[in-house]
Amino acid sequence: MSIKKTVSCRSCSIPEIPNNDPTSPTYAFPLDFMMLSRTTAKPLRVVQPEGASSTSTGRLIEWEKWRFRVGFNWREGTIHDVWFDGRPVSHRSPMLEMFVPYESSSSKRCIRLRKCRSWITSNDLSLGCDYLGLIAYLGGYVVNANGEVVAKNNAICIHEVDAGIQWKHTNHRTGQASVVRKRQLHLQTIITVANYEYIFYWILDQSGEIVFETRATGILSTTPIDPANKYKINFATRVGDGVLAPYHQHIFNLRIDPAIDGSNNTISYVDSVPMPRDSKLNPYGTGYITEETKITESSTANTDPYKNRVFKISNPSKINPVSLSPVAYKLVPIASQVLLAAEDSWHNRRSHFTDAPIWVTKYKDRELFPAGDYTNQHAQGSCCKK
């Protein structure tokens, strides 16, 4: 495909590209998106000759010491009724919303999961293209805008991954080394929302760790600019001659309904802080301690990388026999910015969950969507702020 015309847009124009050379930085992919494949790498194959270690019965997945169920509907992707080694971990953990505000003089924004009914746009995953190795798939059914049932085949991919070293130690006296590999179970789905693809991962490992990860790929949403304008645009990046990609944020909303060894759970945060100077306990001023603060009412909480802050979801009625502390899971959110838009902006009004990295609320029936039940029409805030 060659671009042979100049397309006018308000006061600017997109320059003519007479020869659409694939090696050119201004190359435009054909509409069928036939990508140029790299030919220098030799084949990489993932083989499990004895089969997969996981088993599935309907929506029930069992792997190593894990046992959980996978849900799927037009608005959520969930894992629920999660157990590890015969002990409950979580009632329900859905990825509920994603807000994408564009940081320019316009009000462009996208509330992608609710507005676009994004699980309807989940990809039909295929072996060799989306994933490697021995794969199991789960599908589901959703209803489209016409009230018709749509089958989503191969919407969820389940497979094992060797993630490198889990633990290693070498005895420096004997030179003998011991090593344990890190085996993980990945549950993955990919949705296409306009220009972007989003890859969602639930990752479980043999030590009881759970990780939720998101990746954004696809193509940028762009806007034209007069090629004669050589001034720096402070809210966008030039990605081509006469083409800008506006800055934007991706803010995800994950809800955790824990059940750590039962329903009597509480949350706290733990900071690493310097130990007070003491002639006996800290004479050289090198000591440090941890300070734990319990969150006793519904509120927000901030991350603090300067104190290496971590959050703990614990069950005070169950004591770990080794540490003599309540059993707990450590919650480690990434340190990132919250919403940059002004408080009185429409961006903020329809995405109050972006005001803080963590919201802590007591369970209440029918409060399932922290970003709001109807985010597109809501003008005054969402349920988590109420």
pLDDT value of position 163: 95
What's the per-residue H, E or C state across the chain? CCECCCEEECCEEECCECCCCCCCCCCCCCCCCCCCCCCCCCCCCCCCCCCCCCEEECCEEEECCEEEEEEECCCCEEEEEEEECCEEEEEEEEEEEEEEEECCCCCCEEEHHHHCCHHHHECCCCECCCECCCCEEEEEEEECCCCCEEEEEEEEEEEEEEEEEEEEEECCCCCCEEEEEEEEEEEEEEEEECCEEEEEEEEEECCCCEEEEEEEEECCCCEECCCCCCCCCCCEEEEECCEEEECECCEEEECCEECCCCCCCEEEEEEEEECCCECCCECCCCCEEEEEEEECCCEEECCCHHHCCEEEEEEEEEECCCCCCEEEEEECCCCCCCCCCCCCCHHHHCCHHHHCCEEECCCCCCCCCCCCCCCCCCCCCCCCCC
pLDDT of residue 380: 62
- At 232, the pLDDT band (50, 70, 90 cuts) reads confident
Tell me: pLDDT of 88 over 60: yes
* Mean per-residue pLDDT of the chain: 85
Q: Could you report the per-residue pLDDT of 145-186, keeping only the tens digit for each?
A: 888 998 888 889 999 999 999 999 999 999 999 999 999 999
Please give the Cα distance from 102 to 342 (Å, whole number): 13
Least confident span in 61-75, 87-101, 114-128, 347-361: 114-128
Output the pLDDT for position 379.
Answer: 62
Predicted pLDDT of residue 78:
81
Q: How confident is the model at residue 119 (pLDDT cuts 50, 70, 90)?
A: low
Question: Is the pLDDT at 135 greater than 80, yes or no?
Answer: yes
Amino acid at site 68: F
User: How many other C-beta atoms lie within 10 A of the C-beta of residue 322?
Assistant: 6
Kindly report, residue by residue over 280-320, the tens digit of the pLDDT: 999 999 999 999 999 999 999 999 999 999 999 999 999 99
Tell whether the model's pLDDT for residue 103 goes beyond 80. Answer: no
Confidence of residue 141 (pLDDT cuts 50, 70, 90): confident
Task: Tell whether the model's pLDDT for residue 5 goes beyond 50.
Answer: no
Q: Quick one: pLDDT at residue 80?
A: 92
Question: Which residues share a beta bridge with 257?
Answer: 92
Q: Which domains does the chain have, with CATH numbers?
A: 54-259 (2.70.98.20), 261-331 (no CATH)
**In whole angstroms, what is the distance from residue 91 CA to residue 82 CA?**
6
The pLDDT of residue 246 is above 50? yes
Q: Is the torsion defined by CA of 29, 33, 34, 38 positive or negative?
A: positive
Check residue 150 and give its pLDDT.
86
Query: pLDDT (tens digit, 9 = 90+) per residue, 346-382?
Result: 888 878 888 899 999 988 888 888 877 777 666 665 5
What pLDDT is stored for residue 209 in this prediction? 96
Q: 65-74, 125-134, 263-272, 334-343 — which is least confidently predicted?
A: 125-134
Of all residues in the chain, the percent with pLDDT exceeding 70 is 83
Predicted TM-score (pTM) of this structure: 0.86
Could you tell me which residue, 63 or 94, shows the higher pLDDT? 63
**Residue range 62-72: mean pLDDT, rounded:** 94
Angle at 96 between CA 359 and CA 308, to 5 degrees: 40
pLDDT tier, 4 (very low <50, low <70, confident <90, very high otherwise): very low
The pLDDT value given to residue 145: 80
Q: Give tens-digit pLDDT for 219-228.
A: 888 888 888 8
- Over residues 21-55, the pLDDT tens digits come to 655 555 555 555 556 677 898 988 888 999 999 99
- Residue 69: CB atoms within 10 A of its CB come to 16
pLDDT surpasses 90 at 140: no
